[in-house]
Amino acid sequence: MNLRALNWVLLVGFLLTVALNFALRPDPSRPNFEVFPDMAHSARSNAFSPSKVFADGQTLQRPPEGAIPRGWLPLHYRATPEDAARAGAELVNPFAAADPQVRARGAFVFTTWCQPCHGAGGRGDGPVAQRGFPPPASLLSGKAVEMRDGQLFHILTYGQANMPSYASQISREDRWKAVSYVRWLQSQAIASAPKP
């Protein structure tokens, strides 16, 4: 085949390709042709649709006894003073008290959730307590100093007498950090107390 004939073949091929490009326009209202769909369309069932796989004929299955949802850790305590004491003996604050980031986060949590009643310094003189709510005892002396971290955590988690539970508003990590911050407030108060 000489060069001229080859050029004619290439020209015809080129024009054919351009013509096909217009003739076979894709229809935007339909999905594209899939050559190898592979696993794009695997078999699946909706949660509440019937299923032939399971004996009870349902897709959604009850989790096995003792299953724990991802991201949620159980706490095996009740809202009683005995269990608060047990939490004090068993639970350990997972955060290092000296970590400045822990203290900064604890300060934020304390200012947001605890200051209204306990006051910025933990003396029990927050605005809510000054307007008629039974004022809590100071966190800087007495019982709160002697309680162990786990017991403070239990109080934040389950509440105590007039103090409500904060488990639904404050995450578990943030409750521990608030405990660290209370400890820091106490250490500051002890450091600045007049020496005998």
Please give the residue ranges that form the binding site for ligand HEC (CB under 6 A): 113-114, 116-118, 128, 134, 136-137, 139, 143-144, 152, 155-156, 160-163, 166, 170, 178, 182
Closest distance to ligand HEC from the beta carbon of 138 (Å)? 8
Nearer of residues 73 and 161 to ligand HEC, judged by Cβ: 161
The structure tokens 């995450």 sit at 171
Write phi, then psi, for 81 (nearest 5 degrees).
-60, -35
For the chain, the straight-line distance linking the first and the last C-alpha, in angstroms and rounded, comes to 114
Closest distance to ligand HEC from the beta carbon of 62 (Å)? 35
Closest distance to ligand HEC from the beta carbon of 49 (Å)? 44
Cα dihedral 152→82→171→160 (10° resolution):
-70
Nearer of residues 137 and 190 to ligand HEC, judged by Cβ: 137
Nearer of residues 51 and 167 to ligand HEC, judged by Cβ: 167
Q: How far apart are CA 53 and CA 129, in angstroms?
A: 60
Q: How far apart are CA 108 and CA 117, in angstroms?
A: 15
Closest distance to ligand HEC from the beta carbon of 100 (Å)? 19
